[in-house]
A = this chain, B = another copy of it.
Amino acid sequence: MTPPDTRTQLLDAAEHLFAERGFHGASIRAITDLAGANLAAVGYHFGSKAQLLTAVVLRVVEPINAAQSAGLDKLLARTPDPEVTELVEAFAGPLFDEMATADEGGARKSRLIMRILGDPAEEMREWPGPAEDTVRDRYLAAFAHALPALSANELWFRIRGILAVAAVDRVDVHNGQPPPGRSSAAARRWAITFLTAAMSAPPTGT
């Protein structure tokens, strides 16, 4: 049980506070205080507050991408024509798994991702993010194959719907507490049901 190093403590504290208050709302002072580190530590370890943010985001996003990618590999190794529900499970499942660390860490990540999704400019834009684009493109192709009647635009709309439902999960609409009677395991299953039906809907008629 070696104690976490300062760098990790800073990442933890920053993940918490960026999710809770946003980038501008979380000061370096608040982050270093929560991390039990010195004010100058952010500059030393990450260079700037903005670079700390990208490090935090990468740490949250990378395992999700890896799990999504591995899930698709596994699916395609078994059959060239996966079911819609299998694709939904492989794509949306990791979003819930990674955000379901029992404690409030899941809701925190969920909020962080929502903030990034909704942020058009914030110091977020320089973030590389080629990995998740690749993963998304691969799922786009797989869904297009499973749902050949759907136009590319409507398919894209639906995939963004998956992201939306997953991102908003565990973020309460009106206050900080999760809705009553929610366990993340149940939410995960509800989401698969909800999203499989949604993805499988026939194309919208003109």
A contact residues vs B (CB 8 Å cutoff): 20-25, 111, 114-115, 117-122, 125, 129, 133, 152-154, 156-158, 160-161, 163-165, 167-169, 171-176, 179-182, 186-187, 189-198, 200-204
CB distance from A90 to the nearest CB of B (A): 18
Q: Are B164 and A181 in contact (CB under 8 A)?
A: no
List, in ascending order, chain B residues with CB within 8 A of A201's CB.
Answer: 193-194, 196-198
The 7 tightest CB contacts between A and B, nearest first, are: A197-B201, A24-B24, A164-B168, A114-B118, A198-B198, A120-B176, A24-B25
List, in ascending order, chain B residues with CB within 8 A of A202's CB.
Answer: 193
Indicate which residue in B22, B161, B204 contacts A119 across the interface (CB closer than 8 Å): B22
Q: Are A160 and B168 in contact (CB under 8 A)?
A: yes
Q: Are A157 and B194 in contact (CB under 8 A)?
A: yes
Q: Nearest CB to that of A190 among chain B residues?
A: B157
CB distance from A100 to the nearest CB of B (A): 14
* Majority SS at the chain A contact face: helix
List, in ascending order, chain B residues with CB within 8 A of A117's CB.
Answer: 114, 168, 171, 173
Q: Are A121 and B164 in contact (CB under 8 A)?
A: no
Q: Complex: how many Å from CA A37 to CA B59?
A: 42
Q: Complex: how many Å from CA A170 to CA B113?
A: 16
Q: Are A181 and B158 in contact (CB under 8 A)?
A: no
Indicate which residue in B115, B180, B190 contacts A204 across the interface (CB closer than 8 Å): B190
Q: Are B25 and A23 in contact (CB under 8 A)?
A: yes
Q: Are A121 and B168 in contact (CB under 8 A)?
A: no
Q: Complex: how many Å from CA A125 to CA B173?
A: 11
